[in-house]
Amino acid sequence: MHKIIPNAIVYKAELPTAAQLAKHLAELPYAPIGETMLSRPSFVPNKISNELVTEFNGGFAFHLRYDEKILPKAIVKAKAAERIAAIEERNGGRMKKIERIAIYEQVHVELAKTALVKTAIIPAFYRTNDQMLIVATGSKSLANTLVHYLIHVVGSVKTTTINISDIKNGLTTRLKKHLVDGGAFEGFVVGTTVALKNGGQKVSYSLSNLDTASQGLIEAIDKGFQVERLALEYNDVEFKLTSDFHFKAVRFDDVESDDDALDAVAAWQHDASVQTLQFTSALNELCNLLGYQPEEDGEQASA
């Protein structure tokens, strides 16, 4: 089985059909990042199907490639400061602000020419009936980048934010109840790890021996610690839920196809269908458990 969703950040979105989306994504094809460019996005084909949009039972998938120059701000700032100091010493006076900004930008462009390039391939899976866009990354920045360029090529995407009101407090309250009487996570099995945070303090507990961990956890919660990350299981999927409603270390039970003769594309489509179905089932149940109320964002349009 392909491990296609190791981490996930989820959006509600109304996307066009797979065929229509493929035409839009083709408007931002891959090209090498330019010498003076700092980043370059592109929608690229699935390596297995060689399609910009690959359909599977229940939805479709697509990929954003994001090339970005590794150029730490501290290095740019230091180089610019060095050049500005030399000019000011030579001219015997302080440069104007606009001149210093111009030097900074000049240094930025020069360093970009030789900077290393970091490449990220970000898969996204869309469940048509649920209108769930699953971006398979643990990086909020990359997930938002994918959504930004998706909106850019499509023109407008109607979205609804998945926002659980006070999720950190809600998870903490439920965890304490679970430790006391074993309830509070109906439909889910609490996993073996939990991380708590109180200001700058962080603590982690193993729940493999609940009797041993319970007292320490309850004491920490009573002192103001709140759940930062909690391992949960739902049927055939397990994950670590974070306090910002991101999903880390997602794992699925192997579900083999009945047809051993499936080619690579069909096998990938099977895995995508099964894993996205399992994940959205867990997600929907979690939203019900935590009292998710949709918030209409309206249409998001590209500039």
Closest among 135, 111, 115, 154 to 33, alpha carbons compared:
115
Q: Which residue has the tokens 């302080």?
A: 94
pLDDT in tens, 214-271: 888 888 999 999 999 999 999 989 999 999 999 999 999 876 655 555 799 999 999 9
Backbone φ and ψ of 120, nearest 5°: -125, 135
Output the pTM of the full model.
Answer: 0.87
- Could you give the CA distance from residue 98 to residue 238 in angstroms, rounded to a whole number? 54
Q: Which of 133, 123, 144 is nearest to 43 (CA)?
A: 123
Give the residue among 197, 200, 174, 195 at the shortest CA–CA distance from 186. Answer: 174
CB 28 within 8 A of CB 80: no
> Are 232 and 191 contacting, i.e. CB atoms less than 8 angstroms apart?
yes
The span from the CA of 222 to the CA of 220, in Å, is: 5
Q: Model confidence over 15-49: pLDDT tens digits? A: 999 999 999 999 999 999 998 888 999 999 999 99
